[in-house]
Amino acid sequence: ATGAVYGLWEVVKMIRPEYRPLFVDPYRPEFYYVSILVLSAAVLLAWYAIARRLFGTTAAMAGLLCCLAVLGGILAIVAPATAHVLVVPTLGATVGVAATFVVPERWRLPVLTIFLVPAAVFLGSATWPALQTGITTAPFLVAPAVVLLGGLLLLPLAQAWPDRRGWAIPSTAFAVAVALAATGLAVDRFDDQHPLTSQLVYALDADRNEARWLSRDSPDRWTRNFVGESAPSGPFAQLWPTTVASGPAPAAELSPPTAEILSDTTESGQRTVHLRLRTTRAATSIALRYETAPTALRVAGRDLTPVPKTGFQFYAPAPDGVDVELVAPAGPLSLQLVDYTWLPDSGIPAYRNPPGDIYFRQDSAGAVFVSIPGL
């Protein structure tokens, strides 16, 4: 069931690549949610059809109860805080099955049904909230819950399973799951009220007067006007290592950030450099990047421990700059300054506002970077 639900969502993303960069579910996920539930149930029904044919109805149901009992015991040891989700329904179902051996035949189905109420309650109360955590987690949270707990609900239905053409039941469930997913694709469309989330960065290398468009996502119908499928190289790849798409951009006349060296001393093999970082274009954040992490770093009067491996980014810097003090082994330092501005506010001539059904993520920026000379 986990594999089936995971595969279903991968197929949906192949049909609609705009879903791939989503951190949350689509705007209208309801049909996808129901499709996941139905597909998980279809896998359960397919298992029962196979087990019933191979081992018989009684053995299949006994095997299901034994499986749930073992899993409940393991869960009670590994994760006792959540074990009740499996233990309580299994205990109720087991007691209900045992009770059917001592009550008259006409009372067997009502008694078993009553003892399955815990399974129905836990199935209804745990599965849907788990689905709300996101479709990407559904294969690992929702699908097992539907199969393991939903299997208990098969106990009173086992005798009603048709002797002939039983495969029509799981086959129909699989077809319904696919139809629901297709309906989700048809219903969930991007528009002005439900825009496509996009990400784009304009990066200017002030040392070489070279610029590129960058994106952490594959090109969509808007960003393909700026980036292609190729990843960047050189300093662009070093500063934006998660970039998967890039394209050439005209070098805009943007003033780079500056670093004033207030002091530079070396003692006992340790070099201490005191800098003041400033943005010259009223950028909303400024960053210091390095290839080798210093042994100590102090930013705006605050020690950063542990020292970040690649650098730091300071938001809302004051007009008079940000004081930085770093300690590193004696020798030359390779430092780069980067400042960032919200892309629509960057004043880049080559930038064009996207259509109404495109919305830029907050990490879309106009960035200028430069090496700090004299170090």
- Give the 3-state DSSP-derived string for the chain, with helices as H, strands as E and coil as C: CHHHHHHHHHHHHHHCHHHCCCCCCCCCCHHHHHHHHHHHHHHHHHHHHHHHHHHCHHHHHHHHHHHHHHHHHHHHHHCCCCCHHHHHHHHHHHHHHHHCCCCCHHHHHHHHHHHCHHHHHHHHHHHHHHHHCCHHHHHHHHHHHHHHHHHHCCHHHHHHCCCCCCCHHHHHHHHHHHHHHHHHHHHCCCCCCCCEEECCEEEEECCCCEEEEEECCCCCCCHHHCCECCCCCCHHHHHCCCCCEEEEECCCCCCCCEEEEEEEEEECCEEEEEEEEECCCCCCEEEEEECCCCCEEEECCEECCCCCCCEEEEECCCCCCEEEEEEEECCCCCEEEEEEEEHHHCCCCCCCCCCCCEEECCCCEEEEEEECCCC
Q: In the chain, pLDDT over 90 holds for what percent of residues?
A: 46
The confidence band for 129, taking pLDDT boundaries of 50, 70 and 90, is confident
What pLDDT shows up at residue 144? 87
- Residue 122: pLDDT above 80? no
pLDDT grade, residue 352 (50/70/90)? confident
In the structure, what pLDDT confidence band is assigned to residue 174 with cuts at 50, 70 and 90? very high
Task: Using the predicted structure, report yes or no on whether residue 154 has a pLDDT greater than 90.
Answer: no
pLDDT at 202: 94
Predicted confidence at residue 41, as pLDDT, reads: 93
Mean pLDDT of 282-288: 93
Residue 248 pLDDT grade (very low, low, confident, very high; cuts 50, 70, 90) = very high
Q: Write out pLDDT tens, residues 47-56.
A: 999 988 899 8
With CA atoms as reference, report the closest residue to 264 among 320, 323, 325, 334: 325
How much is the pLDDT for 5?
A: 95
Q: Specify the residue for token string 């930013």.
A: 299
Average pLDDT score over residue span 128-143: 87
pLDDT for the residue numbered 133 = 85
Closest CA to 245 of 227, 225, 259: 227
Greater confidence (34 vs 112) lies with 34
- Tokens of residue 341, six digits: 């501005």
Q: What is the mean pLDDT of residues 280-289?
A: 93
The pLDDT tens digits of the residues spanning 180-222 come to 999 999 999 888 888 888 899 999 999 999 999 999 988 888 8
Residue 214's pLDDT is 95
- State the average pLDDT for the chain: 89
pLDDT at 347: 85
Distance between CA 213 and CA 285 in Å, rounded?
19
Compute the average pLDDT of residues 230-244.
89
How far apart CA 179 and CA 182 sit, in angstroms, is: 5
C-alpha span between 234 and 205 (Å, rounded): 11
